[in-house]
Amino acid sequence: MYRDTRAEVNLGAIRENTAVIRRLMPEGTRLMAVVKGDGYGHGSVESARAAVQGGADQLAVAYLEEALQLRSKGIELPILILTPIHPSEVMLAVRHQLMVTVTHAEWFRQIGSHRDQRCKEKLKVHVKADTGLGRIGLRTREEWDELVPWLQWDFVEVEGFYTHFATSAREDTAFLKKQHGKFLEMKEWCRASGVEVHQYHCAGSNAALRFPELAMDMVRIGAALFGFYPEALVPDIQLRPALSLYSKLIQVKRLRQGECIGYDNSYVASGDEWIGTVPIGYGDGWSQSMQGSEILVEGRRAEVVGKICMDQLMIRLDRKYDTGTEVVLIGSQGEDRITVRELALHAGTVPQEISTLLSGRVERNYAD
C-alpha cells in the first residue's frame, strides 16, 4: 500500500447478514445475493463468496462482465444478469450457465443469427415486469402475449418472472401495494399462458425485511448484505455494517482569522483555527457533497471545510494533532461512530451510493 487511505471490509459481517436475512424469510424461500457494482463497492468476488458462506442460493449482477468475472474466479452458483445483454452475447451466457433478463419479444428475434445450433444447453431467462418503477420490463398484456411463443421455444428455459418495487423504503406503503397487486395480475398471465416459471420474485432488501410475506419463491438481497437497510422501519432486525474507511493527517497548519482555504476561497477562518489535510478526494469517490460532513480524529468530530479537491480534503480540528494521526471517515473511533447512513443523509442520497462511489484508488483490505 502506497498511501494512507484504505477501506476495510468485514467479510464476517456480510456472511452473518446473509444468514440473518435467510432465517427471517419463510421456509423454502431462496436468497439471491446481489453483488453488482463491485459488490456495492465492497468487492464483488469477496462479497459473493461471503454471501455463499452465509447461505445464498443464487447471485445477481448488473452486467455480463460482472458475471464473467465471478465465473473466472470459480464461483459456480446460478447468476442472474439484471440488465438485458446484447443479443450477440447470448452464447456467452449459455456457455457460462448464466441467467439473463428479458423484457420484450424483439430481443428474441435478434438472437437467432447468434445462436450456435451445435450447443445443446438451454438459454435460462428471467422475465422482468415493470409494475411501476419505470425502468425496464414489460408492462402490458399485449407485450406478454407477444413474448409467450419465444418463452415456449425449446432453446429457452424460464427460470424466473420478477419485478422491483420503487418505494419499499418509504413508510407509506400505498404504492408498494399497488405494484404488488399489479405483479399478482401479471403472475396470472403466466399461469394462463401455460408458460412454466420456476421462480417468482418481487422483494429486494427493504421489502424482504419489512414484509417477509412478499418473499414468494425468492428474495433479492443487495444493500442489506452490507448492513444498509431502513433501521427505523425494522427496529427488531440487527445487521452489521461491513465497510470502514480510514486515512491519516498529512499536514496540520494554523490558520489566522480571515485566512482562506480551498478552491474559490471556499472557507474563511472565523478565528484562529487548526486545519488538517487528509489524502482523499473526489478522485477517490469522496465527492464535493461531503463538504460539511464530519470525520473522527482521536474520537472527536472534525468538520470537512472548504471545497473537497480531487485528491485531498481539509478538516477543522479542535487542537493541533501530529502528522500521521489516523482519522476515520466511516466506522468507529473512541466512543463515536460515523455511519454510511449518516453520510448519505448529509449528501442527500442512499448509503449504497456512498460505498459504490469509492474508486479503485482506495485499497480494500479484507478481514473475517
Residue that the C-alpha cell 449504497 belongs to: 352
Under DSSP, the state recorded for 86 is: P
pLDDT the model gives residue 1: 67
pLDDT the model gives residue 41: 98
Q: Is 36 a catalytic residue?
A: yes
Q: Which of 128, 178, 229, 263 is catalytic?
A: 263
- Residue 311, amino acid: D
In angstroms, rounded to a whole number, what is the distance separating the alpha carbons of residues 144 and 161? Answer: 11
**Grid cell at residue 326:** 489516523
pLDDT the model gives residue 120: 83
Q: What are the Cα distances from residue 200, in Å, to 78, 187, 320, 340? A: 16, 8, 59, 32
pLDDT the model gives residue 280: 98
In angstroms, rounded to a whole number, what is the distance separating the alpha carbons of residues 151 and 85? Answer: 17
In angstroms, rounded to a whole number, what is the distance separating the alpha carbons of residues 215 and 209? Answer: 9
**Grid cell at residue 254:** 494554523
Transcribe 222-252 into DSSP letters: SGGGGT-S-GGG-TT------EEEEEE--EE
Q: Are 101 and 125 in contact (CB under 8 A)?
A: yes
Q: Are 56 and 18 in contact (CB under 8 A)?
A: yes
In angstroms, rounded to a whole number, what is the distance separating the alpha carbons of residues 148 and 153? Answer: 9
Report whether 135 belongs to an annotated binding site: yes
Strands (DSSP E) found in 5-72: 6-10, 30-34, 58-61
Q: Are strands 58-61 and 79-81 parallel, antiparallel or unpaired?
A: parallel
Q: Domain segments of the chain: what residues?
A: 10-226, 243-367
Q: Are 31 and 18 in contact (CB under 8 A)?
A: yes
Domain 243-367 maps to which CATH number in 1.10.10.60, 3.40.50.1000, 3.20.20.70, 2.40.37.10?
Answer: 2.40.37.10
pLDDT the model gives residue 212: 96
In angstroms, rounded to a whole number, what is the distance separating the alpha carbons of residues 59 and 70? Answer: 10
In angstroms, rounded to a whole number, what is the distance separating the alpha carbons of residues 222 and 352? Answer: 9
Helix 44-54 and helix 64-72: axis angle, to 10°? 70
pLDDT the model gives residue 237: 95
pLDDT the model gives residue 60: 98
Query: Rounded to 5 degrees, what are φ and ψ at 205?
Result: -55, -55
In angstroms, rounded to a whole number, what is the distance separating the alpha carbons of residues 169 and 206? Answer: 6
Residue 245, CB-side half-sphere exposure with 13 Å CA sphere = 25
- Classify 10-226 by CATH class: alpha beta
β-bridge mates for residue 101, sequence order: 126
Query: Rounded to 5 degrees, what are φ and ψ at 303?
Result: -80, 140
pLDDT the model gives residue 112: 83
Helix 44-54 and helix 11-24: axis angle, to 10°? 40
Report whether 310 belongs to an annotated binding site: yes
Q: Are 3 and 311 in contact (CB under 8 A)?
A: no
Rg for the chain (alpha carbons), in Å? 24
Per-residue pLDDT of the chain (368 residues; tens, 9 = 90+): 688 999 999 999 999 999 999 999 999 999 999 999 999 999 999 999 999 999 999 999 999 999 999 999 999 999 999 999 999 999 999 999 999 999 999 999 999 888 888 888 999 999 999 999 999 999 999 999 999 999 999 999 999 999 999 999 999 999 999 999 999 999 999 999 999 999 999 999 999 999 999 999 999 999 999 999 999 999 999 999 999 999 999 999 999 999 999 999 999 999 999 999 999 999 999 999 999 999 999 999 999 999 999 999 999 999 999 999 999 999 999 999 999 999 999 999 999 999 999 999 999 999 98
Q: Which of 36, 124, 128, 307 is catalytic?
A: 36
Residue that the C-alpha cell 460505498 belongs to: 355
pLDDT the model gives residue 68: 98
CB atoms within 10 A of CB 145: 12
Q: Is 177 a catalytic residue?
A: no
